[in-house]
Structure formats: C-alpha cells, structure tokens
Amino acid sequence: MNVYVLLKQTFDTEERIVLRDGRISEEGVKFVINPYDEYAVEEAIRLKEQHGGHVTAVSAGPERAAEALRTALAMGADEAVLLSDDRIGEDEYAVSKTIAAFLVRQSFDLLLAGNFSIDNGSGQVAVRVAQLLNLPHVSSVTKLNVDENRAAALRDAEGDSETIEVALPALFTAQQGLNEPRYPSLPGIMKAKKKPFHTLGLDDLGLSESDIAPRTARESLALPPERKAGRILKGSPAEQAAELVHLLRTEARAI
C-alpha cells in the first residue's frame, strides 16, 4: 500500500504568540508537526505495518519545515518531500495547488492529512487537494479500516458519528482519537538520517507564480484585547439585575 501523508509545521502549542510589525514573530519559537497531522502520520505507519507498502511524508512550506518531515521519518515514514519556494506563500489555494501538482505525478492508494492546522484552523488544504485530484474524501476520521480497494471510515459528525465507505484511492483527514502517535525512537532517529529526502520548487512542478496566485489576502492581524478583571455586583437580586443591564448597555455596548 502506497500512502502519502500531508503535513504542516506549526508553532508548539505551548508557545506564546508575539506580534511584531503586524506579523507573528518566529524568533526563538519551537516548531512541531501540526498535532492533527501527527495522527495522520501514525495512521499511515500503522497501515504500512498491517498491509505492507511505503509511506511518504509531504509538506509545502519554508525550509524549516524539513524538521517536521524528519520527525515523520523518525516515526517510521520511508521518504519525505519538501515543496519549498518563496513564491508559494501561505494562501490555502496556493498551497493545495502546489501539493496537487506534485501528487498528480505520483502513484498512491491513500492520502492522509490532519483535520485542520492549529495555527490557521481553516481545514481547507487537504479537501482542496482531493478536489483538484478528483478524489473522494472523508474528513474528521476517528477510525479507519482498509480492505483491498475500499476503506470504511468512522467520522466525527458534530457530536455524533457516521460511517462512510469509499473506493480507493481516497483522502482522509485525521481527528483526535484516531490513534495515539508514537514517539520517535533513537534507532528511528538514526535511520531517518539515511532515508530519502527530496526538496522541490515550483519550477520542478511545472508551476508558475501566476498558477498559484493567492485567492485571499490578510489585511490586518492583532491580538485580542486583554481581559479586564471581573466585577462582583452587590445589592439585592433586582439591584444586581438593573446594574448588569446598565453595564451591558453603557460599557459592553452589548444591548
């Protein structure tokens, strides 16, 4: 079974967000594999262990994303591909178009990705890739069973669940609960250094800057206002209610 995993490098979830000149500062920041993509990597490795095959980790991002790909290799992926070019940017359309241009030249049975990334939280790239490749896709998967040319996926459906069966090749996005990702072992880290690692740019994929022109633009970025200290209203219930209405109208301007 030939499985490709789409992953993104994101801030460590413990990092503090700092803005400088309207952009998020990356100075001294620790980066990790997007946690939802980590479930996808683990699931790909488990499928390889069950059915045999080859796992390739793919990321479209800056050069530093190589670190996340090497972590995937240390976990058990067989090969890594970094699609890196200053012209790609962060727009979901551009990223998905770049990844699809690479995958259309590959042979695969299954594509796996995270349900969404913890930085932008849009959950667009993977399903856009499926659309561009004309593949069936199932999102927010919490259980996946693969049998020959078909797969049955149990997906989270906003508090409920549903099972969807699709023909392969297909794309699935991983939700929390799909598995428990393994930690890279020391032997795995050593083996990762010898595994194939490829870096490709737009020219290698036959794409021009106009082909991936962004469809969205960020106009501004700001941290949420600091939370004010809470207030305790005093007096009788009627007096407290009256004071609350007054504050909502004059200070919060909510009514």
112-118: average pLDDT: 92
The pTM for the full model equals: 0.85
Q: What is the tens place of the pLDDT at every residue in 60-102?
A: 999 999 999 999 999 999 999 999 999 998 899 999 999 999 9
Residue 146 in this model has a pLDDT that exceeds 80: yes
How confident is residue 17, by pLDDT bands cut at 50, 70 and 90? confident
How confident is residue 167, by pLDDT bands cut at 50, 70 and 90? very high
Residues forming a β-bridge with 55 = 3
Under DSSP, the state recorded for 144 is E
Query: Would you say 48 and 2 are in contact if contact means Cβ atoms under 8 Å apart?
Result: no
Residue 9 in this model has a pLDDT that exceeds 90: yes
The percentage of residues in the chain with a pLDDT greater than 90, rounded to a whole number, is 70
Q: Which sign, positive or negative, has the C-alpha torsion 219, 117, 5, 104?
A: negative
Domains belonging to the chain, first-starting first, are: 2-212 (3.40.50.620), 225-255 (no CATH)
SS3 11: strand
So what's the pLDDT on residue 231? Answer: 83
175-197: average pLDDT: 94
- For 49: left if phi > 0, alpha if psi spans -120 to 50, otherwise beta; the answer is alpha
Query: Chain-centre distance of CA 209, in angstroms?
Result: 23
SS3 46: helix
So what's the pLDDT on residue 119? Answer: 84
The residues near 201 (Cβ < 8 Å, ≥ 6 apart) are: 83, 84, 85
SS3 74: helix
pLDDT higher for 173 or 11?
173
Q: Which sign, positive or negative, has the C-alpha torsion 60, 117, 4, 139?
A: negative
Q: State the Cα–Cα distance between residues 133 and 115, nearest whole angstrom.
A: 18
pLDDT higher for 79 or 19?
79
SS3 83: strand
The CA-atom distances, in angstroms, between 227 and each of 224, 230, 240 are 9, 9, 22
Residue 15 in this model has a pLDDT that exceeds 80: no
